[in-house]
Structure 1
C-alpha cells in the first residue's frame, strides 16, 4: 500500500512556492477544510510575500466551492488572524505565510475557533481528505460567499489595552518588511511609546533583511538602538507571531533569558519546551511551576489548555498569552517586554541578573529511514552513559537531566537527515564532556 505524502510539518504546510506550495495545493486545502467543516465561516489572511495573494485566491476558491463562507482580512499579521477567528465567531482561520523563511517560500496554517493552531491530528484529517479527493463540491446554488472585513482597529485597540507602560520609552521596531509593518509601530504608539521604525514598508522581497530575526540579520537594529539611546529594540519575523528584543545597550537579548524574565513576571504555571534553558526554572523560582512539552507552538498551546497555564513560550520568541488569545502573538509579546522594563528598569540590567549556562547545539548525520531505530536505542540506552542522570523526559526526543541541573536533549530533525543534540552544563567543562559523550555514542550507533 502506497504511503500517503505528509503535507503538514511542525508549523503548518511550508515550502518553496511553485514546488511544494502550489496553487493546486492551496485549492485542495480550501476544499478539504470546507469539506471537514461542512459549512460555516472561515477567516483568511496573508503576509507580504509576493506569492501570498495568488495562494489566497486559490485557497478561497476551494473553500467557497465546498460551501463555506469566507471573511477576507487582507494583509495582516498571524496573531490578528487568530484573534479575529475567535472574536468573529468563525469556524476556522487560515493564514498564508512562511513565517521566518526566505522570500521564495510560502505556507498555509490553520486555526481553530478559539485561535489555537490546528493540532497534528486535525491536520491529518485535512491531509486524508486531500489524498482521498473526496471533496464536498457544491453546485452553483450552494457555493459559499466572500466578504471583506477590516479587523485591524479592533485588534490594535485590544492589544494596546492589555498593557500599561508606566514611564515614557523610546522603542526601535524592525518589522522586516513583513505583515506587522504598519500595525506594530502603531500599537506601540497607542500604548504611549516613542517609536523609531526600520524596514516597516510591506515588501515581499524583504529588501531590508531576511525575515528570520536572528542576531546576524539585526545589526542595523542593534546599532540604531545604541545610536538613538533607545530603551528597547524589537524585531518581528515575516508574520509577527514571534518577536525578539535588543536591550538598551544594543545587545541581542538571549532567547532563554527573555523567556525567563517574562515567566517570572507573569508567574503561576508556565509552559515551555524541552529545549528551553534551566535559567527559566531558576528565574521563576518559587513564583510558579515550569512544565515542559514538545517543540512547536501548537504543543505549547495544547499544554496551556490542558494544564490551565498562565503563560507559555518557546525560546525562539514564540510566546502565547492565554489571557488574550491562544494564537502566538509577537506584537503583544513585545509590548509586555516594554511594560516590564517600564516597571522594573533597563532590560540590560534585568538580563544580566538571569543566570547564564554554557550551551552547545550540534547535529549528527543520520539517514531518515534510520532515525526511528536510532531514537529507540537512545531512549533505552543513552541514560546509562550518565551516572548522575536524575530524570529522563521522552515527550519529544530524549532529554536527560543530571542531578546538578545540567541536561542534554537528543531529537531527530523533522526536516533534515540529522539527529540534533542540544545541551546545557553548569560549567564549560561539564558542557564539553556531555557533548563529547553524547556525540560519540550517536556516531557509534549510527555507524
Structure 2
C-alpha cells in the first residue's frame, strides 16, 4: 500500500497531510462504501477541525450524509459505528507529535478496515475513480452531541464494575491533552475510583507532554502517583486507544509486562493470542504456560486486526491480542484497541494484588534497539540481504513474517525495515542486559 500504512495514513498537517488529500481520501472511501450516512470524528489536534471539515466535504461530494461526532476517542467512534451501522473517518495521528495528523477508516461493524479493504480504497484514490454526485444529490451533515456519553455508558456495562468499586482504588490519570481527557476521568470515577489527573485539559498543541505514552514523556504521571499515594497510574495517547501503566510506587510498567499480565488472566488451553513479530518473550512464556498458541503478524494494528478476523473465520478463539506499546485488544469485548477499557481490565487485577505484584513475574527482561541507517534503495536491499544471510546461518528458530526474527528459547533478536524512516531496526530481548546487547550488536554488525 502506498497511501495507508500499518495504522491508517499520517503526515505533517498542511504539508504532507493537506485538506485536499483528506478530501480525496474521503471521496475514495465514500465511493467504496456507498453509504447513506458516514460518521466523522477527530482527536484534539489543532488541525483536527480543519481536516474533519475536509473529510465531511469529500463524503458529501459522493452523496453521503455526515454525522459529525466532534472530539471522541477512536474506540468511541468505533462504538458509534457499531451501534449505528455506519462507517467512519477518524481524524487522528494517534501518538505522533502535535504537528502531525492522519486518517483512520472504520467500517460499519466498528472495526478498522482490513488490509484488503484499505487497498480497495487506495485503488479508487490513486485512480481518481470517485463517484461524485450532482449538486442536488450531495450529502447533508448534522452534529451528534452524545457520542462520548454513549461510549462511556457501554464501557461501564463491559467491565466488572462491582469488583473495581469494592477495591476502592485511587487512579492517577494522564490523558495527555488528547481525546481521552473528555471521557476517561468520568469513566473511572463512575467505576468508583478516586481519580487525580495531570495533562487532563483537551489541547491539540499538547503543552504538557507529547502524545506518545512512553516512559520519557510520563515523568509527571510517576510523580503524581507518588504524591497522591495512588494505586496505579494510567496514560493514554492522543486518541486514547492505548493505555500505559505505573505501579503504586510511581514506577513505569513496561508495556510488554502489562500485556503479559493481562494475557495471563485471559488465555487458556487451546486459545490463540495474536501479536506483532517484535513480541516480547514475556508473551511467548505466557502462551506456553497457558497451552495457548501465539500467532505473529507484521508490525501494526491493521495487520493484527486483519489476522484476528482471519482466525475467527477459521473457528479459532482469540481472547487477547496486541502490542507492547499499550495497544491491547480484547476481541470478546470489541475488535478494537481501547485505552480506557484496557485500563479498567488492569484495575480488575488490582482487586487482589498491587500493581507491582501483578507485573512482577514479567519484569526480568531487557530490551535493546539498534538502528542501521541507509541512504538509497540499493543499500537497503544490501542490508536486508545481509540480514537474511545472517538469519539463515543462525542456530535459532527463524520467523520471516516481517523481517528476520531469531528465537533462542529464552531470548530473541529481530531485524526489520522501518515503515517510517530510512533505517533497518534491530531489536533484541533477553533476561540479562548484556545478552540482549550482544544479540543486537552482533546482528547489526553483520549488516554493515
Aligned to 2:133, which of 130, 138, 162? 138
Q: Name the residue aligned to 1:223.
A: 223
| Aligned-residue offset at 1:307 | 2.0
Aligned 8 A contact 1:242 1:316 in 2: yes
Query: Aligned pair 1:312/2:316, yes or no?
Result: no
Aligned to 1:347, which of 336, 355, 368? 355
Q: What SS class does the counterpart of residue 372 from structure 2 fall into? A: strand
Q: Name the residue aligned to 2:331.
A: 322
Q: CA separation in 2, counterparts of 1:355 and 1:232? A: 17
| Aligned-residue offset at 1:373 | 5.0
Query: Aligned pair 1:97/2:106, yes or no?
Result: no
Aligned 8 A contact 2:41 2:70 in 1: yes
Q: CA separation in 1, counterparts of 2:158 and 2:244? A: 19
Q: CA separation in 2, counterparts of 1:419 and 1:319? A: 25
Aligned 8 A contact 1:272 1:292 in 2: yes
Q: What SS class does the counterpart of residue 11 from structure 2 fall into? A: strand
Q: What SS class does the counterpart of residue 315 from structure 1 fall into? A: coil
Aligned 8 A contact 2:412 2:430 in 1: yes
Q: CA separation in 2, counterparts of 1:209 and 1:359? A: 24
Q: Name the residue aligned to 2:432.
A: 427
Q: What SS class does the counterpart of residue 17 from structure 2 fall into? A: coil
Q: CA separation in 2, counterparts of 1:364 and 1:245? A: 30
Q: CA separation in 2, counterparts of 1:195 and 1:429? A: 40
Aligned 8 A contact 1:258 1:351 in 2: yes
Query: Aligned pair 1:439/2:435, yes or no?
Result: no
Structure 1's consecutive aligned runs of 4 or more residues displaced over 6 angstroms after TM superposition are none
Q: Name the residue aligned to 2:117.
A: 122
Q: Name the residue aligned to 2:296.
A: 292
Aligned 8 A contact 2:391 2:404 in 1: no
Deviations 1:386-433 (A, max 9, x none): 2x31x211111111112x332111100111111100012343443233
Q: CA separation in 2, counterparts of 1:188 and 1:249? A: 20
| Aligned-residue offset at 1:95 | 0.5
Q: Name the residue aligned to 1:408.
A: 413
User: May I ask how many residue pairs the two structures share in their alignment?
Assistant: 433
Aligned 8 A contact 1:44 1:72 in 2: yes
Aligned 8 A contact 1:45 1:96 in 2: yes
| Aligned-residue offset at 1:176 | 0.9
| Aligned-residue offset at 1:306 | 1.9
Deviates more, 1:328-337 or 1:318-327: 318-327
For 1:245-264, list aligned pairs within 5 A: 245-264=245-264
Q: What SS class does the counterpart of residue 181 from structure 1 fall into? A: helix
What is the TM-score with the length of structure 1 in the denominator? 0.93
Aligned CA-pair RMSD: 1.7
Deviations 1:248-294 (A, max 9, x none): 01001011111100000111321111112111122341253322222
Deviates more, 1:362-371 or 1:166-175: 362-371
Query: Aligned pair 1:417/2:422, yes or no?
Result: yes
Aligned 8 A contact 2:264 2:290 in 1: no
Aligned to 2:387, which of 353, 357, 378? 378
Q: CA separation in 2, counterparts of 1:325 and 1:353? A: 28
Give the gaps of 5 or more residues in structure 2: 313-317
Aligned 8 A contact 2:169 2:230 in 1: yes
Q: Name the residue aligned to 1:180.
A: 180
What is the TM-score with the length of structure 2 in the denominator? 0.93
Give the gaps of 5 or more residues in structure 1: none
Q: CA separation in 2, counterparts of 1:110 and 1:71? A: 15
Deviations 1:3-45 (A, max 9, x none): xx93222221111111111111111111111111223321110
Deviations 1:373-395 (A, max 9, x none): 5434533x222442x31x21111
